[in-house]
Amino acid sequence: MTNSENDHNHLYRNKMILGPMVRIGTLPMRILALQYGADLVYTDEIIDFKLIKSKRYVNDALGTIDFVDDDGVVVFRTCSLEKDRVILQIGTNDPDRAVIAAQMVEDDVAGIDINMGCPKSFSIKGGMGAALLRKPDLVQNIIRSLKAKIRKPISCKIRVFDSLDSTLNLLKLIEEAGANAIAIHGRTIDERPRHPNRNDYIRAAAYTLNIPVIANGDSCRINNYEDMKIFQEKTRASSVMVSRSAMKNCSIFDPSNMIKDVDDVIKEYLKLAIRYDNTTGNTKYCILQMLGNMQEYGIGKLVAGARDLKTISDIYEINDYYENICNSRNLYKQISIIPTSI
């Protein structure tokens, strides 16, 4: 193995990781996770087509890099704070498209991940996500193509099969094709959160593979950093990836086990949403997930009814922060977004 392959694998060793979550894993949540102590953060899944159709802009007003489609929708927003720690997850079923999408972002991210675990019908019908698990040749082609053309580390995120042998066979094919790490959600396509996570499958994978294994799927038992270490120990995995527990309270990444009150976490999140001009819809969605059962009541109803970030900042009494950010942004008389070559 070359030095650079070693470095690529090393990126995923002994890390606490924010897992990919559609609509949740946008820039403010990723930065929040890093601030609390996460080592790596995955983006929400971005479909290759969408990325390919977007253009890269340097957004000086926000200090971000934006990938924006023809309708002005930001497909992916990132910034220098996360550059060495953000893994962009692509939804794909085609090696060439995967490469084009990855080439567009490779200078702005730490690594590229391929979603091979999403069981949603949108993914399966499109031959993406968990549909790939049944197409080992295509999986290898995608990984090999990415490894040949992309300078950054390449990882995959999979679900397990009912059979441990079949699971290990697929994992070996993924390793053989050159992947630098594999995140394993210990459930089959048909299993739901109420089914136990197959931690023994993850442990078997960790024993079998040489590349780092990232254990995922045990959020029900993860309430703080110590629980993540227990999950790591139980599975003997190199690293741990947490999704749902982090969505509910991102301070679980704090290595000192200091879990913050959800209200405080929401305020920190909201400041980042304002700072990075996150859309109102996405900000509301994330806050409501953090509020959980509380979203039906009081503050939850207010957030659900809010029409803009200013209103939400009023609800959480951080209007001064909101005004300051708006004023500093106005210093850019013309908020000029300058297209750059890719």
State the residues that interact with ligand FNR by CB under 6 A.
Answer: 19-22, 24, 44-45, 89, 115, 117-118, 157, 185, 216-219, 242-244
Tell me the residue number closest to ligand FNR, measured at CB. Answer: 219
Q: Are 90 and 45 in contact (CB under 8 A)?
A: yes
Residue 82 or 218 with smaller CB distance to ligand FNR: 218
Task: Quote the least distance from Cβ 49 to ligand FNR, whole Å.
Answer: 15
CB of 217 to ligand FNR, least distance (A): 4
Element (H, E) at 229: helix 225-235
**Residue placing its CB nearer to ligand FNR in the complex, 158 or 318:** 158
Cβ neighbours around 96 below 10 Å, total: 13
Decide whether 14 or 336 has the Cβ nearer to ligand FNR.
14
**Pair 254, 16: CB distance under 8 Å:** no
Rounded distance between C-alpha atoms, residue 178 and residue 94, angstroms: 17
User: Which DSSP category does 181 fall into?
Assistant: E
CA distance 103 to 115: 17
- Sheet of 55-59, strands arranged across: 74-78, 64-68, 55-59, 337-339
Nearer to ligand FNR, 64 or 243 (CB): 243
Element (H, E) at 111: strand 111-116
Q: What are phi and psi of 31, to 5 degrees?
A: -65, -40
Nearest Cα to Cα of residue 219 among 204, 239, 236, 197: 197
Tell me the C-alpha distance between 147 and 247, whole Å.
Answer: 31
64 versus 123: smaller Cβ distance to ligand FNR: 123
| Least Cβ distance, residue 175 to ligand FNR (angstroms) | 19
Residue closer to ligand FNR by CB (options 22, 337) is 22
Rounded to whole angstroms, the Cα distance separating 73 from 149 reads 28
Residues designated catalytic:
118
Least Å from the CB of residue 28 to ligand FNR = 15
Backbone angles phi, psi at 11, to 5 degrees: -50, -30
Smallest separation, CB 338 to ligand FNR (Å): 30
CA pair distance 196, 50, nearest whole angstrom: 34
Compute the distance between CA of residue 217 and CA of residue 138 in angstroms, rounded to an integer. Answer: 25
